[in-house]
Amino acid sequence: MSNKKLFYIIFFVVFSANIFNTNITAWDSRWSIHTAYSMIYERNLDLDEYKDIIERKENYGIWKGTEHVYNLFPIGVSIIALPFVFVGEYVFELALIINPDLKTKLQEKGFTLINVTNYYHVVEYFIASLIAAICASLMFVVVRRFLNANQSLLITFVFAFCTSLWSVAGRALWMHGPLMLCILIAIYFLTKKDISIKNVVTLGFILAFSFIIRPTGLIFFGGILLYFILTNKKFASAYFFSGLTVFAFFFVLNYSIYGTIFSPYYQYYVNILSGSGFPNFFEALAGNLISPGKGLLIFSPILIFSAIGIYIKVKRKEFSKLDFSLLLIFVLYYIAISLVTKWWDGWSYGPRYISDTLPILIFFIIPFFLYPEFFKNKKILNFIFAVLLLVSFFIHTKGALSSRIWVEWNGTPEDVDKHPERMWDWKDPPFLR
């Protein structure tokens, strides 16, 4: 079967698995679609028109200024949602024509504004499923450059269903799916045989935009800038200045709204860097990797083979400048999320914060298959790989399918935000609920 057909099959399977899964976790993302709608039809970023809904939601995820109210979370995902909201509104208007009683039913539910935002969770769920499918398909393209079709399909399956792409990013329009896509696009371009100046400029725009999706996206931008500095100074300049235009737009926009170049959400990270955060840094370092409540290697033990892949490349003296840059991005990202006071990332499932770097970790699994002769006892390692794959699949499928785990485990027997020591309770990990 051709690579093109496999690409479309992967897209269809992953999209279908996500879109037909009814476990929707639209929490932090709940105002993303409203913000996009406001950008299109109100020509602004405030959510004043939704004040009654916001009050019913107890102002969660809202920043109140002196005159207006705004979505606390970054606007990057709302920008991504713009075309979907635009089309979705026309679909919604068509639904109102077909079913005139729909408007009355929505009004009875308390909606004062009748538009597509009444079904915001459906719109963002569609976008999240689409992004997850694109990520999986693009990962197949990248891996296929190094391995045969069967091996590429296997690694793609690991990414799509044995990580937080399945249990978290595909469940709602969190920031994590778009961020995974950004760094994955970078890996896609940088593993091509030839990269053009047009590709470099495009990367500058995309990875600078990842900063607008989430502050830690700056690490993506900086890591790839370092790669270009090490390999091609001309490309480094083109990349930097293309990204600079995105940063300039973002800072000017922030200043026009908040009177400072950083929005309140970003200011929190600025405060961390200034020394007001990380009281539990070393606990967070350990917790983000091996705690039963949030540990990356506990929820996706298959990613141990990422370390094996790095080891193989180093021993074979094939650890490239791209490998170095990607590994540096992961390390800096790991440190950055461990500086956050609430390192366990609140009410969620598994290692949500560090999931943004998953494409890098999956990329480093490739050498394990690329050099089968490296280990003498390869059959034993293949068996271990299969076992860890099944364990990872079980853990993330449980999180993907069960909203009960998301709500009940985080809230009982005590709220995890008030009792973060529960992250270390080996008798009660989320995936065994």
Residue with tokens 């990580």: 163
pTM: 0.94
Specify whether the CB–CB gap between 334 and 354 falls below 8 A.
Answer: yes
Q: How much is the pLDDT for 276?
A: 58
Residue with tokens 């992004």: 131
- Give per-residue pLDDT as tens, 5-33: 999 999 999 999 999 998 888 888 999 99
Q: How much is the pLDDT for 405?
A: 82
Gap between the terminal Cα atoms of the chain: 41
Distance of CA 211 to the CA centre of its chain: 12
Encoded tokens for 348: 């969620």
- Give per-residue pLDDT as tens, 114-161: 888 889 989 999 999 999 999 999 999 999 999 999 999 999 999 999
Angle between helices 176-190 and 217-231 (to 10 degrees): 10
**% of the chain beyond a pLDDT of 90:** 78
What integer best gives the mean pLDDT of the chain? 93
Q: How much is the pLDDT for 275?
A: 64
Three-class SS of 84-120: HHHHHHHHHHHHHHHCCHHHHHHHHCCCCCCCHHHHH
Domain extents for the chain? 1-174, 277-433
Cβ contacts of 168 within 8 Å, gap of 6 or more: 25, 174, 176, 348, 349, 350, 352, 355, 399
d(CA 268, CA 172): 24
Average the pLDDT over 254-275 and give the result.
85
Question: Whose CA is closest to 189, among 158, 233, 235, 127?
Answer: 235
- Give per-residue pLDDT as tens, 76-116: 999 999 999 999 999 989 998 999 898 888 888 777 788 88
Question: Whose CA is closest to 190, among 6, 361, 326?
Answer: 326
Encoded tokens for 417: 């935000």
- Which residues, in sequence order, are bridge partners of residue 62? 71
Residue 231 one-letter amino acid: T
Question: Whose CA is closest to 337, among 214, 428, 160?
Answer: 214
Residue 348: pLDDT above 60? yes
Burial per residue of 28-56, b for 16 or more beta-carbon CB atoms within 10 angstroms, e otherwise: bbbbbbbbbbbbeeeeebbbebbeebbee
Q: How many CA atoms lie within 13 A of 194 on its CB side?
A: 3
Residue 396 burial (10 A CB sphere; 0-12, 13-18, 19+): buried
Q: How much is the pLDDT for 277?
A: 54
Greatest Cα-to-Cα distance within the chain, rounded to the nearest angstrom: 70
d(CA 55, CA 45): 18
Average the pLDDT over 200-207 and give the result.
98
- Which residues, in sequence order, are bridge partners of residue 69? 64
Q: Label residue 340 by pLDDT band (50, 70, 90).
A: confident
d(CA 331, CA 71): 30
